[in-house]
């Protein structure tokens, strides 16, 4: 194989690596954008290929493309959609804001694959027929992200919800002290805490579905500026129907192509749901760290599974490394939210020109959140145990036990007992037992009022 070959595009000749499946336009982009060394995420390339395959089939159906060319294009695009030829999509993430370089990269690879299989196909005239980078690339963003949400993030969140619900049931009888402002409050059950986290995970899955819904309109058919120039009136309808049938997602043509191509509001909305999911995971992870802190000199009410040695200098130390990893994912997603807002603001007149970066951030957030939720479930939640003795002892030490007495003895009297408990380091129960007549309570009444299970909502 020659080290290089000469290819040409509308701007002239370019030297292309001999083994490369792409052509002059791609080589030109590789040369002009040596910025990050990071190409677009593969799922976006796969989505572009799916669109090219559906478009070829539609153009053949409409009589615009000979069947043999359409068959060859669809077969080549199918190989790309399946994840093959990854090394032949080298264009940097930081490229033309419309994604034209990557759209042409896909067109050229498909054309080369067709040519090597014996069919002469032109990347613009045939592979890109009825399309523009300006409608294909944003459609690919929606397609790739919606699939990732459905296939990765939503199942991960549902799995986390199931695991947390199981722990909620396991710990339903484990009484412990609740905390507000990080200070002692009234008793709860450990199961109630896990149940709250399970609800957060369930709502996260629902938010994933909302993100999918925000992305179901595809701007195919708008071509360059939204007017539909150089495309068949039924191209978008038929192509999108093919994509919907293939994926099982309810994709439809954009209501207004000018809105769909000039703005990326749908992507900003979808990532807003992801940012909320990140906040939920951060909350769960931080609570797990707090409740497992110690284990001797902190709260220590739960034990996280040991995953690795926690210190290079302190023998026996084990840290909450899985929750820590989750909090860093949340931080990254928060950063992506800011980036996507900036990218969404990059719509000027008839086109948004920050789409490659926006796409990369969206897909990264989906992947990170899905993986973080799965790791949290498998490596942490499933192995958590409760220190029931610790939970019981901390309840009895809490000043907030006095809260249950306030309706009977009054707020000020209850506060006085709490203050004395602090000063003497004696429990609320001990102090009350010494002054039952003064409080107007019997021993049985005091026992009932200070029953942690009743305070936690038990019968």
Count CB-CB contacts under 10 A for residue 239. Answer: 32
CA distance 321 to 101: 41
Q: What is the C-alpha R_g of the chain?
A: 30
104: tokens are 């042409």
Q: State residue 298 phi and psi, 5-degree precision.
A: -125, -150
Quote the CA–CA distance of 151 and 132 in Å, as a whole number: 28
Question: Which candidate, 251, 266, 258, places its Cα nearest to that of 343?
Answer: 266
CA trace torsion 268, 272, 278, 280 (10° rounding): -170
Beta carbons of 81 and 55 less than 8 angstroms apart: no
Structure token pair of residue 204:
């996260």
Beta strand 351-352 with 252-253: parallel, antiparallel or unpaired?
unpaired
Token readout for 46 is 């796969």
Q: Quick one: CA torsion of 54, 99, 82, 118, rounded to 10 degrees?
A: 70
Residue 48 exposure: Cα atoms within 13 Å on the Cβ side: 33
Phi, psi at residue 32, to the nearest 5°? -85, -20
Q: How far is CA 87 from the centre of its chain?
A: 26
Question: Which CA distances in Å does 285 have to 118, 147, 322, 356?
Answer: 56, 27, 8, 31
Among residues 36, 120, 311, 442, the one annotated as catalytic is: 311
Q: Rounded CA gap, 16 and 11, in Å? A: 14
Alpha helices in 311-354 (DSSP H): 321-344
C-alpha distances in Å from residue 147, one per residue of 84, 103, 139, 154, 171: 18, 19, 12, 10, 36
Structure tokens at 232: 């068949």
- Residue 311 among the catalytic residues: yes
The number of residues making up the chain comes to 459
- Measured CA distances, 228 to 106, 137, 181, 258, 281 (Å): 22, 15, 57, 10, 43
- Cα distance between the two ends of the chain: 80
DSSP 400: G
User: Residue 443 in contact with residue 451, Cβ under 8 Å?
Assistant: no
Name the residues annotated as catalytic. 181, 311
């Amino acid at each position: 194989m020659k080290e290089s070959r000469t290819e040409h595009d509308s701007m002239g000749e370019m030297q292309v690596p001999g083994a490369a499946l792409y052509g002059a336009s791609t080589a030109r982009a590789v040369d002009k954008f040596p910025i990050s060394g990071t190409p677009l995420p593969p799922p976006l390339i796969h989505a572009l290929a799916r669109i090219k395959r559906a478009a070829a089939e539609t153009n053949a159906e409409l009589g615009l493309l000979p069947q043999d060319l359409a068959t060859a294009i669809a077969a080549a695009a199918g190989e790309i959609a399946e994840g093959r030829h990854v090394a032949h999509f080298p264009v940097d993430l930081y490229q033309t804001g419309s994604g034209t370089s990557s759209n042409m990269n896909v067109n050229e690879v498909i054309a080369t694959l067709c040519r090597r299989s014996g069919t002469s196909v032109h990347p613009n005239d045939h592979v890109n027929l009825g399309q523009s980078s300006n409608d294909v690339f944003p459609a690919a963003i929606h397609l790739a992200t919606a699939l990732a949400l459905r296939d990765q993030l939503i199942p991960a969140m549902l799995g986390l919800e199931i695991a947390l619900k199981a722990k909620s049931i396991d710990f339903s009888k484990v009484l412990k002290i609740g905390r507000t402002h990080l200070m002692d409050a009234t008793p709860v059950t450990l199961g109630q805490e896990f149940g709250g986290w399970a609800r957060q995970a369930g709502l996260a899955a629902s938010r994933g579905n909302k993100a999918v819904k925000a992305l179901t309109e595809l701007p195919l058919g708008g071509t360059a500026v939204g007017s539909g120039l150089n495309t068949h009136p039924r191209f978008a309808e038929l192509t999108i129907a093919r994509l919907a049938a293939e994926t099982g997602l309810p994709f439809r043509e954009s209501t207004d192509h000018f809105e769909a191509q000039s703005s990326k509001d749908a992507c900003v909305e979808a990532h807003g749901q992801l940012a909320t999911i990140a906040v939920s995971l951060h909350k769960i992870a931080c609570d797990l760290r707090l409740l497992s802190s110690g284990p001797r000199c902190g709260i220590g009410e739960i034990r996280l599974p040991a995953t690795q040695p926690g210190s290079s200098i302190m023998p026996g130390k084990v840290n909450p490394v899985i929750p820590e990893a989750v909090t860093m994912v949340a931080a990254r997603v928060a950063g992506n939210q800011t980036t996507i807002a900036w990218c969404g603001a990059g719509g000027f007149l008839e086109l948004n020109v920050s789409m490659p970066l926006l796409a990369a951030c969206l897909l990264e957030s989906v992947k990170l959140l899905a993986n973080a939720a799965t790791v949290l479930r498998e490596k942490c939640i499933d192995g958590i145990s409760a220190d029931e003795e610790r939970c019981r002892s901390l309840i009895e030490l809490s000043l907030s036990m006095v809260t249950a007495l306030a309706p009977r003895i009054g707020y000020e009297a209850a506060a006085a007992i709490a203050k004395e408990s602090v000063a003497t380091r004696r429990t609320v129960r001990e102090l009350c037992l010494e002054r039952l007549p003064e409080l107007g309570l019997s021993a049985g009444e005091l026992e009932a009022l200070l029953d942690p299970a009743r305070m936690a909502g038990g019968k």
